């Protein structure tokens, strides 16, 4: 069955996702902390084939000195994809996309991190995407939040990130590559959202076309997914402190 047939079918019957998931179904998630022994805190988080690892170093003194902020510490994130994490080899090194995602990740995390406690210091969060099938920034943020908690950085609460997609007229949770490239009908709208576990938005991006009514629906779906992801994160953190 072609994508076009699927779409026309969706109008009368149920919409079918390329991987057979239910509309609100997140791919199988895995989370583990302590994956990088050298780091002060580290974690792996995956949505199906999308695998992110994150490591936290710090708080440590900020260099060069003129970058130090005596009022509060600095949270510095660095997102990057391994060259072989995608089907067509990605050129190693930063690019405009990774630079923006790094900043977005900082903004997503800073509200929950009590960074004011560390004047003149920096907390570095390094995120690497080992394998990609869309939603890499969300997996990265989830791994980073876990790594920060694992590093013992004081945090007000957790954040959990998920991508919501609008494929033609249907809303789906946790977008994969085939869905990101959806071309039928109204095409794909991709909305990665990060929420604190008390339900505040720390990150939201949107690319595509959507009505304000639908966007409100998107937020509801994100909130529901957010709670599921939070449970996975919480479990991984609890496992890491389990006494032998």
Partner 1 sequence: METSRITGERIADYLNEGKRFDGRKPEEFRNIEIETGVSKWAEGSAKVKIGKTEVIVGVKMDVMEPYPDSADRGNLIVTAELLPLSSERFESGPPRFPAIEIGRLTDRAIRESKFIEMEKLCIKEGEKVWAVYIDIYSLNDDGNLIDAAEIGAFTALKTARMPKYDEETGKVVYGEFTDKKIPLQKEPPVTITAYKIGNAWVVDPTLEEEDVADTRVTIGATPDGIISSIQKGEALEIDIKEFEDVIDLTEKVRKKVFSSIEKALK
Contact residues toward partner 1 (CB under 8 A) are 35-39, 42, 49, 53-55, 57, 60, 78, 80, 82-89, 92-94, 124, 126-128, 130-133
Q: At what angle do helices 136-150 and 96-109 cross, to 10 degrees?
A: 50
Q: How far is the CB of 92 from partner 1 (least distance, A)?
A: 6
Q: How far is the CB of 80 from partner 1 (least distance, A)?
A: 8
Q: How far is the CB of 120 from partner 1 (least distance, A)?
A: 18
Q: How far is the CB of 87 from partner 1 (least distance, A)?
A: 4
Is residue 191 left, alpha or beta, with left meaning phi > 0 and alpha meaning psi from -120 to 50? beta
* Comparison of 132 and 221: residue with beta carbon closer to partner 1: 132
Q: How far is the CB of 178 from partner 1 (least distance, A)?
A: 11
* Comparison of 81 and 155: residue with beta carbon closer to partner 1: 81
Contacts of 231 (CB under 8 A, 6+ apart): none
**By the 8 A CB rule, do 143 and 54 touch?**
yes
* Comparison of 90 and 155: residue with beta carbon closer to partner 1: 90
User: 10 Å Cβ neighbour count for 96?
Assistant: 7
* Comparison of 55 and 149: residue with beta carbon closer to partner 1: 55
* Comparison of 20 and 92: residue with beta carbon closer to partner 1: 92
3-state DSSP call for residue 200? Answer: coil
Is residue 185 left, alpha or beta, with left meaning phi > 0 and alpha meaning psi from -120 to 50? left
* Comparison of 20 and 93: residue with beta carbon closer to partner 1: 93
CA dist., res. 104 & res. 35, Å (int):
24
**By the 8 A CB rule, do 105 and 145 touch?**
no
**Residue tagged 């509801």 (tokens):** 220
* Comparison of 140 and 165: residue with beta carbon closer to partner 1: 140
Q: How far is the CB of 223 from partner 1 (least distance, A)?
A: 30
Cα distances (Å, whole numbers) of residue 203 to 118, 138, 192, 210: 23, 10, 8, 18
Q: How far is the CB of 28 from partner 1 (least distance, A)?
A: 14
**By the 8 A CB rule, do 40 and 33 touch?**
no
CA dist., res. 124 & res. 121, Å (int):
10
């Amino acid at each position: 069955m072609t994508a076009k047939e699927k779409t026309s079918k969706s109008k009368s019957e149920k919409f079918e996702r390329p991987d057979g998931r239910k509309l609100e179904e997140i791919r199988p998630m895995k989370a583990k902390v302590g994956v990088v022994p050298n780091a002060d805190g580290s974690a792996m988080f995956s949505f199906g084939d999308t695998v992110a690892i994150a490591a936290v170093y710090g708080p440590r003194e900020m260099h060069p000195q003129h970058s130090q902020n005596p009022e509060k510490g600095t949270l510095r994130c660095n997102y990057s994809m391994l060259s072989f994490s995608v089907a067509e080899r990605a050129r190693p090194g930063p690019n405009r996309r990774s630079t923006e995602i790094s900043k977005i990740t900082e903004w997503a995390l800073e509200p929950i991190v009590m960074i004011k406690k560390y004047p003149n210091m920096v907390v570095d969060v390094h995120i690497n995407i080992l394998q990609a099938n869309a939603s890499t920034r969300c997996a990265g943020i989830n791994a980073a939040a876990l790594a920060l908690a694992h590093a013992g950085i004081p945090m007000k609460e957790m954040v959990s990130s998920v991508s919501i997609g609008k494929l033609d007229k249907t809303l789906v949770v946790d977008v994969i590559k085939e869905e990101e490239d959806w071309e039928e009908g109204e095409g794909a709208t991709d909305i990665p959202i990060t929420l604190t576990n008390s339900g505040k938005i720390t990150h939201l991006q949107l690319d595509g076309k959507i009505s304000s009514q639908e966007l409100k629906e998107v937020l509801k779906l994100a909130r529901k997914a957010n709670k599921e992801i939070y449970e996975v994160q919480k479990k991984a953190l609890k496992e890491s402190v389990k006494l032998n």
